[in-house]
Amino acid sequence: MADDKDVLRDVWFGRIPTCFTLNQDEVTEREAEPYYLLLPRVSYLPLVTDKVKKHFLKVMKAEDVEEMWLEYEGTPLKWHYPIGVLFDLHASNTVLPWSITVHFKFFCPLVAKKLQYRDLLHCTSNSVIEAHFMSSIKEADALKHKSQVVNDMQKKDHKQLWMGLQNDKFDQFWAINRKLMEYPTEEGGFRYIPFRIYQTMSDRPFIQKLFRPVSPEGNVHTLGDLLKEMYPAALPNDGEQKRYQVVIHGIEPLLETPLQWLSEHLSHPDNFLHICVIPTPTD
């Protein structure tokens, strides 16, 4: 029988085949070849697109290059969302590879209209991502253990978490991260489950509230319980066609799945359970 540990590996080693093409409006010296890459689902775009940048810079004049940013079918891709979340939210149920358009200029009309995105797209260095990543972990641990675990860790442990993610070192990452996933057995789970529910249909970035893994009566909360409270519209009504898919890491867990288990096994490296609610494809 498969072990729960295998889930951690599968989650970590999830890859999205991606085809990067240069935006047609960019001025090039010669035609840019598309660039194909396997992107880790649990990582962040700026961490994995150095090669893409190098590839396209070869065909561009230096003076035409500003900040690189990425877009999928008109939607700019936010750097601080995990890649898997971006894919599940915008591009699930589409043909693979995922086709991402690469931009080097902010002059395009699309972005001009949505200037508020500029901050979200603008990522000056990896240290910004590191800060974002670490603050997510700390926030998650505040929910799970009142920050006790993360505060007990040494600086080098924090570094090891980040280095593990940055260098795609599963063992290095989990050697530390397992401490963040522990909880006293008598309590049956974390204090609160760190989760974020994303939706394509709303302007709200995501839903995040306090939610416990076990009800006051001692019943185990499931994914269904969470959605019923946070986003009842995502649940199918009786006798009705399923309108929404609830996607985590590209899969649809059953609504009966215990939330605590999901949090331990299907959380992203930032220790949050990122749940995407997307419309069921019509065809």
Partner 1 sequence: MPVSLLWAVDVYGRVYSLSTAGQQWEQCRDAQMEFKRVTAAQQCCWGIACDNNIYLNVHASDLPVRYQEETYENQRWNPVDGFSDRLLPSDRWQLSDVTGLQHQPLDNFRLPSSSWEWEGDWYVDENFEGEPTEKEGWSYAIDFPATYTKDKKWNSCVRRRRWLRYRRYKAMDTWAKIPSQQTTLPDPFSDISCGGWEINEEPRGRLSLWAVSLQGKVWFREGIYHHNPEGSLWEEVPLPGEVVQISCGPGDLVWAVLWEGQLIVREGIGRDCPKGTSWAMVDSPSPDVGATHVAVGVNVVWALTKDNKVWFRRGVNSHNPCGSGWISMVGEMIMINVGLNDQVLAIGSEDRAVYFRQGVTSSELSGKTWKVISVPRDGDRSHSSASAHSLQSAGCYFCGEVRAHCIITSSSPESFVDAPTEHSDQPIETPKSRIPKVTSDSFISELVSDRGPGKTSREVRSAGPAVLEEETIPLEGEVKAPDVGVSLSPSQSVGPLDPQWSNVDLEEAQGQQAQTGAVVDTADTSSLSSVATFTLAMEDPYGVDEHPMWAWVSGGGCSVDSHTQLNWFNSMVQSVQSMSLSVTPAQTAAWRKQIFEQLSERTKREMDNFRHYEQAIEQSVWVKKGTMQWWRDWKPHKWIDVHFALEQFSGPEGNKDGILFIYYNFYEEKKYLHAFVNEVTILVPVLNDSKHSFAIYTPERTKQRWPIRLSAATELEMHDWLALLSVSCCDSRGIQGPPSKQAIWSITCKGDIFVSEPSLSLEAMPYPTPCDQMFWRQVGGHLRVVECNSIGIVWGIGYDHTAWVYTGGYGGGFFQGLASSTDNIYTQVDVKNVYIYENQRWNPVTGYTNRGLPTDRYMWSDASGLHECTKTNMKPPSPHWTWVSDWTIDYSVSGGTDKEGWQYAADFPASYHGHKTMKDFVRRRRWARKCKLTTTGPWQEVPPIPLSDVTILPCAAQSSVDVVPLWAISNKGDVLCRLGVTALTPAGSSWLHVGTDQPFKSISIGAASQVWAIARDGSAFYRGSVSSQSPAGDCWYHIPSPSKQKLKQVSVGRTSVYTVDENGNLWYRQGVTPSYPQGSSWEHISNNVRKVSAGPLDQVWIIADKVQGSHSLSCGTVCHRLGVQPLEPKGQSWDYGIGGGWDHITVRGNSMEPPRVHLPSLTERTPLPVRNTEINSSAVGC
| Interface ranges with partner 1 (CB under 8 A) | 1-7, 10-11, 14-17, 36-40, 43, 47-49, 51, 96-97, 163, 166-172, 174-175, 178, 186, 188, 217-220, 249-254, 256-258, 265-266
| Shortest Å distance, C-beta 146 to partner 1 | 21
If you compute the radius of gyration of the chain from its CA atoms, what whole number of angstroms results? 20
| Shortest Å distance, C-beta 175 to partner 1 | 6
- Give 170 or 231: the residue with its C-beta nearer to partner 1: 170
Residue bearing tokens 């969302």: 81
| Shortest Å distance, C-beta 195 to partner 1 | 16
| Shortest Å distance, C-beta 66 to partner 1 | 23
- Give 116 or 219: the residue with its C-beta nearer to partner 1: 219
The set of residues, in sequence order, having a beta carbon less than 8 Å from that of 109 and lying 6+ positions away, is none
- Give 109 or 281: the residue with its C-beta nearer to partner 1: 281
| Shortest Å distance, C-beta 198 to partner 1 | 18
- Give 74 or 218: the residue with its C-beta nearer to partner 1: 218
CA atoms lying within 13 Å on the CB side of residue 228: 9
Report d(CA 268, CA 266) in Å as an integer: 6
Report d(CA 105, CA 82) in Å as an integer: 23
Answer whether the bond into residue 205 is a cis peptide, omega within 30°: no
**H helix intervals, 146-257:** 148-152, 155-166, 170-180, 223-230
- Give 117 or 261: the residue with its C-beta nearer to partner 1: 261
Angle at 248 between CA 262 and CA 190, to 5 degrees: 25
